[in-house]
Structure 1
Amino acid sequence: MLSGGGGGGGDIQEVQAVELFVGLAGTAARFLTALCAAARGGVYRIDGIAQMRKRPMRGLIEALRTLGADIRCTGEEGFFPIEIHARGLRGGPVTIDASESSQMLSALLMVAPLADAPVEVTIAGGVRWPFVQMTTRLMEHFGQPAVQRLADDRLRVVSGHPWGLQAAAAGGRRGERNAVYAIEPDATAASYFLALPLVTGGELDLPGLRGPGGGLQGDTRFVSVLQRVGAVVTETEGGGGGGLHVAFSVEKLAGGATAGGTRTGVTENFNEFSDTFLTLAAIAPLLDGPTRISGIAHTRKQETDRVAGMARELRRLGQHVIEEEDSLEIHPRPLLAGQEIETYGDHRFAMSFGILGCHDLHGDGRSWLSIKDPACCAKTFPHFFELLESLREKSSEA
């Protein structure tokens, strides 16, 4: 294990021969790789399941090597498994290509304060800035000076400042040992329930969730997309910082037909909040007119090829889908009942199609859609389907 040092608050104590298995967790893979490389000593072997060995790591590995890390790829170069012979980071100039995952840049930024000298980062290729900005703002909350933006593609991180929760962020006094840091509700996980009223009709509250620009998370932009589709979203007040209220009116007619508000297909570039694109794609069969989703080429290298997988499953349900390298265009067709959705071990497939499955296709409450391996959502939301069922029960009682 890794532990903080005494007075420094950010020093990493030397440990030996640590085996770390991250499964399919890309965030853990990148953050732990950077953290272990910043250690002053020890050997760290990091690996994951077969799909994790295909996920992008090269940009981070090469950047850490530039800063003095000894990282050895024991399989294919640039991928897991890796073995790190830690000796700290020297600091200085470094270039990183984080176009395939902003997590690589975030990982580098978070360990840069542990280097022997300031780190000046040049960004090669594009990066999804909302996630980087979330990282730098959190670094400030935990005691680091603001990351300096030297140019559009250059950042500077000073070193030598101890990590520690700031008084303003904790709502207490600086240096208070038992300060509490309030973590925002997960905006990506909330995307499924934000979309639910568009599928079933009705309304729900998401306490503590903030709208676009109201918190740290870029994925709150999905709220604006759903408003264009037809959802009515309002901010609420109350204890715990308020939240969001989401509503959509659907009236059931004879023969399973519905009437009420209009659900409109939209065109949206999801490059900067791409974890939510599957939610919109899954409910696109219910919308009036085509839905075009772009900016998603990088998601082909996530838990699975999300672009190809989504196209395949929507076609399984009878939809007309135009798939391109960076986009999907979904033209609604009558949904086919009795199909089983393949999740590819990807939690977001299970949850997105779980929301579509709440649509009353037959008009009498009968189930019509099956999801293979729903337990894969345990990666980020283990009680997702239990929570969804509790909402069904509450709506039945209302």
Structure 2
Amino acid sequence: MQYILNAPSRLDATVKLPASKSISNRALIIHALSKGNMLPENLSVCDDTEVIVNAMMYRPDTIDIKAAGTAMRFMTAYLAVTPGEHTITGTERMKQRPIKILVDALRYLGADIEYLGEDGFPPLRIKGKPLNGGYIEIPANVSSQYISALLMIGPVLKNGLEIKMTGGIASRPYIDLTLWMMREFGADADWSDSETLKVNPHPYEQHKYIIESDWSASSYWYEMMTLAEDPESTVMFDGLFDASKQGDSIVKYIFSLMGVKTRFLSNGTEAAPTVRLKKWPCRLPRLDYDLLSAPDLAQTIVVTCALMDIPFRLTGLASLRIKETDRIEALKCELKKLGYVLRDENGDTLIWDGTRCEASMEPINTYQDHRMAMAFAPAAIKFPGLRINDPQVVTKSYPQFWDDLEMAGWKIEKIKD
């Protein structure tokens, strides 16, 4: 499937954002560990969340989490402390994504986990059983999801859990989000110092829980607003909080530097306010930013800066190498099709110094990566008729993305293979 995109001359849209995938997936694991009977409300309907829902609901012997990296990490820890024997597997790309750090930590705590293919990678056979817990040390500079997976099982371990993190900490806001949600469900968990987490053996409590909308999904609308040429363009959405615990809520600050102002309009209730995006005159000459705490915003920011002729140097991107695709290489390849020449350094830095080349305007490949599709779609504002291959990958986190674009006035021509 290929889509040909043409943007409206002016953006004027009210968008219902998807529920947060990050919060939904954590809430499902915590809910299951609490043995609750009330599912969290407003769960995400994206692929990554549905694979967890299906695994919890049907308890198959073999759990296929497809391309959902979060689900692989969270479910591995959950199954290790849940009675029963299961095999957990995924797509071919998932079988290339490392999980050794998490498996080593769980094995140290006494978990029974076996590799069914190459050591260090899925698929896994897991025989769940009660674990004592205790003290572990774990590298934290690869993926915060390993830390979150371990944290969430901490309250059900006999002796609780103490995690000493080494090598720097990637995506610290996601760890804070996990801790905050655990405490919402009654857990006794917090930082004991800047590199150590402590979870006491205090069981989760059941209660009603409502999922916030997804700040990551909002980033594509911030990108569209930045690229939109009509100064009267506006976008509005509900379900987001100014003081959100989602790490990607930093998007509102980053894009304020590029000319998009965020305003929270109170509706007089405790419900989330309405968010309104408006353009305002602001010209950023250059962006130097460390995205270690919000790597999922990288593609959105990279494409936006290039198309706005804003040179940039973005660091903290090492985790992009092990995402749905190697996102650093994918960005370099696809932006070159639009005439922008990027380079990378040290495995964690992406740079554009203004170097251009002749644009081939070949179709944008998405590499089975939802964020590649959504980050490049707004480029049609600057490149009418932009073509995107395999656009259906957006179902991983934002299933209604293309419907929302059409609602906002985009023309999408759909060409089947």
The alignment's TM-score, normalised by the length of structure 2, stands at: 0.79
Shift of 1:265: 3.9
Q: 1:207 to 1:337 in 2, by over 3 A?
A: farther
User: What does residue 308 of structure 2 align with?
Assistant: 287
Do residues 226 (structure 1) and 255 (structure 2) align? yes
Contact 2:31 2:206 in 1 (8 A): no
User: What does residue 318 of structure 2 align with?
Assistant: 297
Q: 1:37 to 1:309 in 2, by over 3 A?
A: same
User: What does residue 368 of structure 2 align with?
Assistant: 345
Shift of 1:284: 2.0
* Structure 2 letter corresponding to 1:348: R
* Structure 2 letter corresponding to 1:189: A
Q: 1:90 to 1:9 in 2, by over 3 A?
A: farther
CA deviation vs aligned residue, 1:256-281 (integer Å, no higher than 9, x gap) = xxxx7646442211110010110011
Do residues 163 (structure 1) and 208 (structure 2) align? no
Do residues 209 (structure 1) and 240 (structure 2) align? yes
Contact 2:338 2:361 in 1 (8 A): no
Shift of 1:245: 1.6
Inter-partner Cα distance in structure 1 for 2:137 and 2:30? 28
Q: Which protein, 1 or 2, shows the higher relative CO under an 8 Å CA cutoff with sep ≥ 6?
A: 2
Inter-partner Cα distance in structure 1 for 2:34 and 2:246? 32
Aligned counterparts, 1:148-159, within 5 A? 148-159=190-201
Inter-partner Cα distance in structure 1 for 2:350 and 2:59? 47
User: What does residue 144 of structure 2 align with?
Assistant: 102
Q: Aligned to 1:311, which of 329, 332, 337?
A: 332
Contact 1:56 1:101 in 2 (8 A): no
Aligned counterparts, 1:298-377, within 5 A? 298-324=319-345, 325-332=347-354, 333=356, 336=359, 338-359=361-382, 361=383, 367-377=384-394
Aligned counterparts, 1:62-211, within 5 A? 62-127=104-169, 128-145=171-188, 147-165=189-207, 179=208, 181-201=209-229, 202-211=233-242
CA deviation vs aligned residue, 1:52-80 (integer Å, no higher than 9, x gap) = 11112111111111111010011111210
Q: 1:98 to 1:57 in 2, by over 3 A?
A: farther
Contact 2:337 2:362 in 1 (8 A): yes
Contact 1:264 1:287 in 2 (8 A): no
Contact 2:337 2:361 in 1 (8 A): no
Inter-partner Cα distance in structure 2 for 1:18 and 1:3? 21
Inter-partner Cα distance in structure 1 for 2:400 and 2:360? 26
Inter-partner Cα distance in structure 2 for 1:183 and 1:264? 37
User: What does residue 244 of structure 1 align with?
Assistant: 275
Structure 1: 5+ residue stretches without partners: 166-178, 250-259, 362-366
User: What does residue 252 of structure 1 align with?
Assistant: none
Contact 1:377 1:384 in 2 (8 A): yes
Contact 1:17 1:43 in 2 (8 A): no
Q: 1:183 to 1:3 in 2, by over 3 A?
A: closer
What percent of counterpart residues are identical? Answer: 30
CA deviation vs aligned residue, 1:318-337 (integer Å, no higher than 9, x gap) = 11212222111224448837
Contact 1:229 1:265 in 2 (8 A): no
Number of residue pairs aligned between Structure 1 and Structure 2: 356
Shift of 1:297: 1.5
Inter-partner Cα distance in structure 2 for 1:160 and 1:247? 46
User: What does residue 405 of structure 2 align with?
Assistant: 388
Inter-partner Cα distance in structure 2 for 1:150 and 1:196? 41
* Structure 2 letter corresponding to 1:208: G
Q: Aligned to 1:60, which of 93, 102, 112?
A: 102
Contact 1:197 1:203 in 2 (8 A): yes
CA deviation vs aligned residue, 1:292-329 (integer Å, no higher than 9, x gap) = 22110111111010011101111121112122221112
User: What does residue 25 of structure 2 align with?
Assistant: none
Inter-partner Cα distance in structure 2 for 1:7 and 1:29? 20
The alignment's TM-score, normalised by the length of structure 1, stands at: 0.83
Structure 2: 5+ residue stretches without partners: 1-28, 38-55, 412-417
* Structure 2 letter corresponding to 1:339: E
CA RMSD after TM alignment: 2.6
Residue aligned with 1:357, SS: helix
Shift of 1:106: 0.3
